Every structure is written in structure tokens, then in C-alpha cells.
Structure 1
Amino acid sequence: MSSSSSSMIAVTPLLPVIVLLLAALGGAVAWLGRLGHGRAVVTACLRAALQLGAVSVVIAWVVAYSAAVTGFILLMYGVAAFTAGRRVTAGGPGWWWAGLPIAAGTAPVLAVLAGSGVTPLSGIVIIPIAGILLGGCLTATALAGRRAVEELRQRRGEVEAALALGFMPRDAAMEICRPSAAGALVPALDQTRTVGLVTLPGAFVGVLLGGASPIEAGIVQLVVLVALLAAEAVATVVTVELVARGRFTPPAADQR
């Protein structure tokens, strides 16, 4: 049995070539299909390679020190908040508010998992789980925020009509943007509904390859999926509330 049998990917001299070819293929297809993201696909793949390489080296040192683990999680949180905020506002005012829904979704779920003893407090466990939760909340915040902001911009007349009927500004905005923003939960819902039938997510496969039984891997994946769905639900609700209160948009006078 080869040394690479415990891994899903065989690390051979051909691997970098295959990765580059796949990145080029994705970029070419996006460019030819006029999706507007041809270059972004290639640069995203290159960034992922560089960042994962650096993170792999850093984590080997970080997991040995509690303070370093905390700092690394805070760094991930900062990047998630910045990325989600820029997606929602396209660089406009108020992007820093994205940190609130991400924290509101991640912190209590992570606290429940760690405080109950379900998740060990070792850095090698906490870091990936925190990363999964932060990544999910980033996606939920960015999708919900962007959809809500665009909906309010496109249906401004309906918001003003609701105000004329006596609605408070927050309530008028909420009636318009909430149904659209709720769609941010659809990817997480679909992933949870179809797990084991369509896909075997990374946590399941990783634990399985680590030597655990399929039952143990299934339990780990179930906990991750349920925790992720709960975190994203909180992040989505908080995001919609912030959009309805105008935290991601300039004052009404500046929009005219």
C-alpha cells in the first residue's frame, strides 16, 4: 500500500500542473462565457494556494499556544468581517457592520460546542471548527446583506409607500427586504438536506481518512452541519435587521 493511500489526493510532481490547468480552465470558461469573473477565478485559485500553504505552516506552530490560537481565530474573524462587509456595500460606508452578524452567529454556537464538552478545547480542533462557522456566517452575511440592500434600492418606491401608510422606517424596510434576504439560508439548507445522498462533506471525509469509523465520521459531520445552520440563521437575521436599520447604506439624503 502506498504512502498516499491515507489521503484523497496523491501528492506527485504532476499535482501542481493539474491544479494550474484546472484554474486556467475555470478562468477560460468564465471568460468565454462572459461571466465577468475570468481573471478573478484564476487569481482566487492562486491566492488559495499561497494562503493555504502559509496557513499550513502557521497552524503547526499556533496549535501549541492558547494565546496564538485565540489570535489566529480573531484574525480569521477580521478577514471574514472585512470580506463580507465589502461584498454587501461594494466598498461603500458601513461595511464594518458586517462583523456583528458574523460574531453573533459564530460566538454562541462555538461557545455551546466548547462549553458542553462536545468539542475539545485543543487548538487543532477549535481552529477548523471556528473556521467552518466563520466561513458559513461570512457567506450568509454577504448574501443576505447584498440581496437586502439591492432589494431596498430597486423597490424604494414601495418602501416610501409603506412609510406613507404609517409604517416605521425599520418596519417598512423589513417588509421589503426580508423575503429576499432569507434566500441566503438556501445553500446551507440544501447542504444539510442532501448530506449523504448527494455529497459527503469535508468533515465526514476528513474524519474517516483520519481513522475513525463511518459512524463516528457521520456524528462529527452531523454536529458540524447543525451548528453551521444555526450560526448562519443567526447571522442572516442580524444582517437583515442591520440593513433594515440603514447600517449598510448611506443616509437617505445621500442617495438622491
Structure 2
Amino acid sequence: MSLTAVAFTLLFVAITIFVSMRQKLGLERDIIVGTIRAAVQLLAVGLVLQAIFRTTHPLLLVPIIVIMVAIASWHAARRGKGLRGIGLRIGIAIASTEAMIMLLLLGMHIIQSTPQYIISISGMTIGNAMVVAGLYLNHMRRDVESSRGEIVTLLALGASAKQAIQLGIKRAVKASLIPTIDGMKTVGIVQLPGMMTGMIIAGADPLQAVRYQMLIVFAFTSSAAVTSIILSLLSYKLWFTPSLQLRRWEKEE
């Protein structure tokens, strides 16, 4: 794609700004800032990846993956304001998921141990895990608040923290997995995923693109479940004080 063609894609941004102005949504500034940030970030990532893909030592990729996990954890932790230590637990959950996926893919020789494959799939895996962690915290927060009376009653009857909040955990885990499972059910019929579409546009054989997309879809489903379950096991105590009282937290803006 030429730079001229890329420049013409700004027409889509202009249409969005026009709609916002027409409907008086007040989103013009956010759209412009988001557009600039997206362009700068993507160009920066492109330059970094260009340099990374030239390296031949897999261990040099570890710091990059650690940074990706740290940023994803920080972003997802914003959904858990008031829960001290939630960022660390999200980081452990995402890192564990990433390690599991990479060990399986590399150990079974499903992908090659090159930066091109490792960074690309790691980015998608970590990003998916970040979204799932955020969804889990959102649903868990709402469930705990709506079930506060039930949880307090169970605690008063002698239940442990895990027993009192177990139903809420199950509901939050299930809710956090619904988008991933629904996406898996409709992939290829309702939507053509970005990776598959990109490969086809780049000239790859459609069946080869489908195989890689199947890999990503199945890995996403596994990573979503593992992330949500690990996070639930590591974080359920954070909803309580040391004296087993439900915490109060900051309301989202």
C-alpha cells in the first residue's frame, strides 16, 4: 500500500468527525488524538519490529515480551481500582498464559522459533488475555456489588472468603469467556478475522491463511480460559479485608 493510499484512509476519520459534530457528540478531540496516537504508535512499532525481526537470538525477545505483559497488566488493572495488588496478579495470570501458549506452540513445533512468529503470536495472545482480565474484573465488581447481601450472610454463617464469593467467581469467569466463545462460533461466517484477511491480501494461499487463523482462534480460547481462571484464584481474597469484610472501592468514572 502506497503512502498516498494510506493518506486517503484519513477520509474515514473525517467521516467519523463529521458524524460526531453533526450529532453533537463532542468526540472530535478524542478522535483526533486517537488518530494521531494510533499512527505514531503503529509507525514506532513497525520500526521496532523491523529491527527485532532481524535478530537471530530468541532470548533477546524475552525483554520485549516482558514489557508487553507489563503494559497489558497495567491497562487491565485500571478495571480493578481499589484492589491493592491486582496489577501483579493480572501480570502473573497473563505471563502464565503466554508461557503456556508459547511452550505448546514451540515445543510441538507448530510454529518456528523466530521473532516473526513469536512476537506476532505473543502480541495477539497477550492482548486477548488483557481484554479477558478486564472483562473478568468488570463483571466481578458488578456481581460482588449486586450480591453484597448474600455474601455478607454467607460470611456471617461461617463460610470462608472463597466459599462466600464462589458463585460470583463462576459468573464472572463465564461472562469473561462469552465474547471469545461467541467469536469462535461465528468466525468465517459473520466475520473474517484480521490475521486471515491480512495474509490473503498479502497474497497468501487462503487455505494456508485459514490454518494459521485456526491456530489463533483455538489459542485465544485456551488463553482466555486460563487467564480468567488463574486471575480468579489469585485475586478473590482482594475483595475482602483481613477481617473478612467486603471492601469498598472507587467507582469508575
Q: Single out whichever of 111-120 and 167-176 deviates more from structure 2.
A: 167-176
Which residue number in structure 1 is paired with residue 49 of structure 2?
A: 59
- Are 1:183 and 2:175 counterparts? yes
Amino acid across the alignment from 1:99 = G
> How many corresponding residue pairs?
244
Q: Is the 8 A contact 2:86 2:235 kept in 1?
A: no
- Are 1:93 and 2:84 counterparts? yes
Taking structure 2 as the reference length, the TM-score comes to: 0.84
Amino acid across the alignment from 1:24 = I
Counterpart selection for 1:140 from 132, 139, 163: 132
Query: What is the rounded CA distance, in whole Å, between the counterparts of 2:247 and 2:226 in structure 1?
Result: 30
Q: What does 1:1-256 align with in structure 2 at a 5 Å threshold?
A: 4=1, 11-15=5-9, 17-22=10-15, 24=17, 32=25, 40=30, 42-65=32-55, 66=57, 67-89=59-81, 93-96=84-87, 97-246=89-238, 252=245, 255=248
Q: Is the 8 A contact 1:171 1:244 kept in 2?
A: no
Q: Single out whichever of 234-243 and 128-137 deviates more from structure 2.
A: 234-243
Q: Percent identity?
A: 25
Q: Single out whichever of 165-174 and 192-201 deviates more from structure 2.
A: 165-174
Taking structure 1 as the reference length, the TM-score comes to: 0.83
Query: How many angstroms does 1:171 deviate by?
Result: 1.6
* Cα separation, partners in 2 of 1:153 and 1:53, compared to 1, 3 Å: same
Q: Single out whichever of 99-108 and 194-203 deviates more from structure 2.
A: 99-108
* Cα separation, partners in 2 of 1:40 and 1:103, compared to 1, 3 Å: farther
What is the alpha-carbon root mean square deviation over aligned residues?
2.8
Query: How many angstroms does 1:250 deviate by?
Result: 5.9
* Cα separation, partners in 2 of 1:190 and 1:43, compared to 1, 3 Å: farther
SS in 2 for 1:245: helix
Q: Single out whichever of 177-186 and 21-30 deviates more from structure 2.
A: 21-30
Query: What is the rounded CA distance, in whole Å, between the counterparts of 1:132 and 1:241 in structure 2?
Result: 24
Q: Single out whichever of 141-150 and 223-232 deviates more from structure 2.
A: 141-150
Query: How many angstroms does 1:181 deviate by?
Result: 3.7
Superimposed CA distance per residue, residues 86-128 of structure 1 (whole angstroms, 9 cap, x where no aligned partner): 1222x65223221122122221012101111111111011111
Amino acid across the alignment from 2:11 = I
Superimposed CA distance per residue, residues 160-188 of structure 1 (whole angstroms, 9 cap, x where no aligned partner): 11123332111211223421342111111
The answer for unaligned runs of 5 or more in structure 2 is none
